[in-house]
Amino acid sequence: MAFTHLHVHTEYSLLDGSSKIKELLPRAKELGMDSIAITDHGVMYGVIDFYKKAKEVGIKPILGCEIYVAPGSRFDREQARGEDRYYHLVLLAENNQGYKNLMKIVTRGFTEGYYYKPRVDYEVLEKYHEGIIALSACLAGEIPNKILKEDFDGARAAARKMRDIFGENNFFLELQDHGIREQTQVNTSLIRLSKELGIPIIARILACLLYTSDAADE
C-alpha cells in the first residue's frame, strides 16, 4: 500500500520547516512515493515551485496549507491570549476549485484576520469549503487543544462543526505519534471521537526524508 505524506512543511514555514523543495521531491520519489503534499504554515509561497518540481520528478503534488483559525471572529483581536489566539487546521485542495478556494482562504487571513498570524474563521471556511479536504492538525488544532484541556464535549462539537463544513468524506481526524506524551492522550480521544461520530482517521508520521549521510552528520 502506497503511503503519502499529507502534512509537510518546507523552508517556507519559517522557524518550523527544514525540508527544501528542491531536495524534498527527488528524495520522496527515490523512496518510492508517488504523491506528497505541501502544507506550510499560513502561506502558499512555495506551491508553484513545489508543483513544478513534483512534475519534473514524476510525483503527484498535493497543494495545501496549514492555516490559522481564530477562536471567534477573524476581526476580533484581544478576545484570546497566547496560543488561544488561533488554532491550526490543515487544508488540502481536492481539485482546481479547491485550489482557488484555498487561495481565497489564505488571502482572507492576511487581508482581514491578521493578528500575530494570518487567521480566518468559520465564516470564511463555510464560504470557501468547496473542493477542500481538511485534517484536524497537530496538538495546536482546535480538537486536540480541547482534548488536552479535558473538554471532550467541546472537542466533539468542534469535530461535528468541521464535518458539517467540509462534508462527511472531506474531514479527517489526524493521529500523530512523534514520541510526545500529549499526543498519546490526544490520539486515544481522537479514536473515540472517530467511533462516536463516524469521522475517518488518517495517521501522520514525522516527515524527515533524510539521506543516511545527513543523519550521520547530525
pLDDT digits (tens, 9 = 90+) for 111-154: 999 999 999 999 999 999 999 999 999 989 999 999 999 999 99
| 218 has pLDDT over 80 | no
- The whole-number pLDDT of residue 205 equals 62
pLDDT score of 216? 43
The proportion of the chain whose per-residue pLDDT surpasses 90, expressed as a percent, equals: 78
Residue 105 has pLDDT above 50, yes or no: yes
Instruction: Please give the model's pTM, rounded to 2 decimal places.
Output: 0.91
User: At 207, is the pLDDT very low, low, confident or very high (cuts 50, 70, 90)?
Assistant: low
Q: Among 15-19, 149-153, 158-162, 213-217, whose mean pLDDT is lowest?
A: 213-217
Which has the closest alpha carbon to 28: 53, 48, 63, 45?
53
Does residue 215 carry a pLDDT above 50? Answer: no
pLDDT at 113: 95
Give 52-56 contacts, CB < 8 A, sequence gap 24+: 53/21, 53/22, 53/25, 53/26, 54/25, 56/25
Predicted confidence at residue 62, as pLDDT, reads 97
Of residues 82 and 160, which shows the higher confidence score? Answer: 160
Average pLDDT along the chain: 90
Average pLDDT over residues 70-74: 93
pLDDT of residue 79: 63
pLDDT for residue 72 is more than 70: yes
Per-residue pLDDT tens digits for 168-180? 999 999 998 878 8
Q: Which tens digit of pLDDT belongs to each residue from 18-28?
A: 889 999 999 99
- State the average pLDDT over residues 201-211: 65
